[in-house]
Structure 1
Amino acid sequence: MDFPGCASVRRANRSAIRLREMEFNRSSNLDDTTLLLLLEEWSLTPSGTNTKMFLISPVVCLVAGVLIIPTILFVIFSRFKIRQETRYMLLGNALLSDLIYLLFYTLSAALNAAHLHLPKEACVLLLFLLAVAYCGGLFTAVAIVLDTYIAVLFPLRYAAILPPSRTKRVLVLLWMCSAAFPGIFFLVLWTTHSFVPCALEMCSVPVILILTLNKTDAVKLCFWLSTTVIILCLSVIFCCYAILYFKTKHSGIWESICSRASVTFVMHNTVLFFYFFPLLALFVESFLGINVFIRLQTGILVSLTVCNVLMILPKVLFPFLYGLRYREISASLKSIVRRKQLHPLSPAPPPS
């Protein structure tokens, strides 16, 4: 599908592109048509075809995620005792968000690598679902930390504070917040006409980030609002873990570096680091790009690395480093495997 103006962009002569290559390497403060033309031409050049290598990471992570995440979700939802506990419901919600994000982002990256263009409405819907899934995983990670905080500091009142019925309401609230936050951002982009039609045709998340962050003050306001929310989430997590450490440092669970508490603490922080570091790196790169401190080509490569590698990696690490550390889940998986291995074969019928 072609949008008005997109065809004229592609009909621009090659000499204009060559004349602007120096400007492309020097600045990111360009008009929409010029910027999109340069981005598209850059992606189609021999050096730009190397960007298809960034598709390997989403595909590999999707395959690994499809193999492990549905298995853990099956264990959680098939065991009544497990699915009634708050920590497992939060874990299942985080895994479901990550699986949705892996599916939709790999689809977006594959379509863009194959130069298959989506209608504008389909691209906007795809981007919105990606934002909802990512926010769902992010907010659930914060909820998991808060759940750990309550369970450790208030063990006798934990069941009364977070019964299964209240946890289900918390999950509904998390999804509502996950939809509302990107919904406000998309509404601002739509009402201020900050969505570039040709960029929506390409439907590449890194390219759209580069284009939209070159826009109006309203978009920059959303950018700083998103940064504030991320910093608040990080602050909540840091405060919870700091309080937990100082409250339990005299209990003896931290004496051995190989103790389960120490290893679990390291695992949790590793997963959370991989969740939040890509966002911080993306915000720093976007800030530098907005203020023309880095070249546009460098900004695109950084955005590709962050979006296709760093933001995808924690989605696969989370079930391995976090989910499989729960004894009930690992024991259930082992029992399922053992049951399949020991399943007796039906005896052959006796000879007549």
Structure 2
Amino acid sequence: MNISECSLLRIINASLMLQRESYTNHSLNMDKPSQYMLREWTIHPLYSEMKMFLISPIVCFVAALFVIPSILFAIFSNISIRQETRFLLLGNALVSDLIYLLFYTTTTICNVMNVKLSRNVCALLLFLLAATYCGGVLTAAAMVVDIYLAVLWPLHYLLLLSPSRTKKLIVLLWFSSCFFPAILFLALYFTQKPKPCELELCSLPIIFIITLHGDDTIRLFHILLVTAFILCLLSILCCYLLICYKTRETGIWKSVSSRASVTFLMHHIILFFYFCPLLLLLTESLLYINKVIGLRTGLWLTLTICNVLLVLPKGVSPYLYAFRYREIYKSLKLFFKLKQHSLVAPVHRFT
């Protein structure tokens, strides 16, 4: 690469400092030629653009926060619903998505509000982001296995995935989602040497760019991590296609508006939202490593992928699940009707 990792960190830190100072109408203790030279090296209007990219995580987090607690209440307040494996796995996926949105929105707000996080706190937040995202992908894989067993092995379904086994499976999913990122973080911690300069903000998109300026070990971990997620999502897609192929003669796919077709389409839309950002991130990383795109373009693409495309499915999928599953939709409808009735009832009492 033309720019070393430490040089890139200095450019980013100086760029942020320059733009924050100009944003607050203060001047840096630099002469005019030095300021002009730094502006030439500035990675676009990074500080102001990060404020613009804050909109999408906040909107997705608020949208998810509005409906996910209601869905979880509808699942765990109904005895018959919470005994079904698919709803337990759905609740686990929604919890993972909500926690991911919470921590990602928190880090983005801290960066925009100029709150400097310590290295250990930043590492903890990145670990939690990796664990919750990995938990969402593993839960999606478990949901595919659940559908596969329910459709192709209906007689053995309750024996293989009983409610007690499902709870143990969820515990195993959380253990795995924390175990693999922990191994990755420990490997990076013990293999990397102390750097003479550090990044002043805890931003996932910028850290993605920084890793591409590291040594071959960090680049390899970066590419392998994204590739592993893509392969996992591809295997999920293949399982859905296998289910569709083996049930083609049952007649459930003849009508486009049939329940099976709509459910199948919904799952593929969600998978597309999960698969596309990772594929774009891998493509952008390879293009940047091979110097096809520059630093500013790479940073713009990474900001768009992380702040828009990665968080979008986590804000949209709860609404798709809520409207698709009849049991959850009926419970939510009844819940909001009772809530509305309790608000209106005192008015009728006095009339």
TM-score, scaled to structure 2: 0.86
CA contact (8 A) 1:58 1:312 kept: yes
Structure 1 residue 330: Cα displacement: 0.3
One-letter code aligned to 1:38: I
Pair 77,226 (structure 1): closer, same or farther in 2 beyond 3 Å:
same
Return the alpha-carbon distance in structure 2 between the equivalents of residues 38 and 281 of structure 1.
Answer: 25
CA contact (8 A) 1:32 1:196 kept: no
Render the CA deviation track for 1:204-233: whole Å, top value 9, x for unaligned.
Answer: 111111112221222233234324422431
Alignment of 1:279-290 (within 5 A): 279-290=278-289
Pair 163,198 (structure 1): closer, same or farther in 2 beyond 3 Å:
farther
Return the alpha-carbon distance in structure 2 between the equivalents of residues 303 and 194 of structure 1.
Answer: 26
Pair 348,93 (structure 1): closer, same or farther in 2 beyond 3 Å:
closer
The match for 1:65 is 64
Structure 2 runs not aligned, ≥5 long: 20-41
Return the alpha-carbon distance in structure 2 between the equivalents of residues 329 and 79 of structure 1.
Answer: 10
Q: Runs of 4 or more off by more than 4 Å in structure 1?
A: 194-200, 346-349
CA contact (8 A) 2:94 2:318 kept: yes
Alignment of 1:18-167 (within 5 A): 29-43=2-16, 44=19, 47-48=45-46, 49-167=48-166
Q: Which shows bigger deviation, 337-346 or 162-171?
A: 337-346
Pair 223,50 (structure 1): closer, same or farther in 2 beyond 3 Å:
closer
One-letter code aligned to 2:122: C
CA contact (8 A) 1:195 1:212 kept: no
Return the alpha-carbon distance in structure 2 between the equivalents of residues 258 and 282 of structure 1.
Answer: 34
Return the alpha-carbon distance in structure 2 between the equivalents of residues 93 and 247 of structure 1.
Answer: 28
The match for 1:318 is 317
Alignment of 1:262-281 (within 5 A): 262-281=261-280
CA contact (8 A) 2:97 2:133 kept: yes
Q: Which shows bigger deviation, 165-174 or 284-293?
A: 284-293
Render the CA deviation track for 1:123-159: whole Å, top value 9, x for unaligned.
Answer: 1111111111111111111111111111111112111
Describe the SS at the equivalent of 2:54. helix
One-letter code aligned to 2:51: K
Return the alpha-carbon distance in structure 1 between the equivalents of residues 320 and 340 of structure 2.
Answer: 26
Describe the SS at the equivalent of 2:192. coil
The match for 2:346 is 345
The match for 2:23 is none
Structure 1 runs not aligned, ≥5 long: 1-27
Return the alpha-carbon distance in structure 2 between the equivalents of residues 80 and 199 of structure 1.
Answer: 52
Kindly tell me the number of residue pairs found equivalent between the two proteins: 323
Structure 1 residue 197: Cα displacement: 7.9
- 2:301 is equivalent to residue 302 of structure 1: yes
CA contact (8 A) 1:194 1:212 kept: no
Return the alpha-carbon distance in structure 2 between the equivalents of residues 201 and 330 of structure 1.
Answer: 46
One-letter code aligned to 1:311: L
CA contact (8 A) 1:120 1:197 kept: no
Structure 1 residue 165: Cα displacement: 1.0
Pair 348,247 (structure 1): closer, same or farther in 2 beyond 3 Å:
closer
The match for 1:24 is none
Pair 273,138 (structure 1): closer, same or farther in 2 beyond 3 Å:
same
Return the alpha-carbon distance in structure 1 between the equivalents of residues 194 and 254 of structure 2.
Answer: 54
Return the alpha-carbon distance in structure 2 between the equivalents of residues 135 and 334 of structure 1.
Answer: 32
TM-score, scaled to structure 1: 0.86
RMSD: 2.1
Q: Which shows bigger deviation, 56-65 or 314-323?
A: 314-323
Structure 1 residue 348: Cα displacement: 5.9
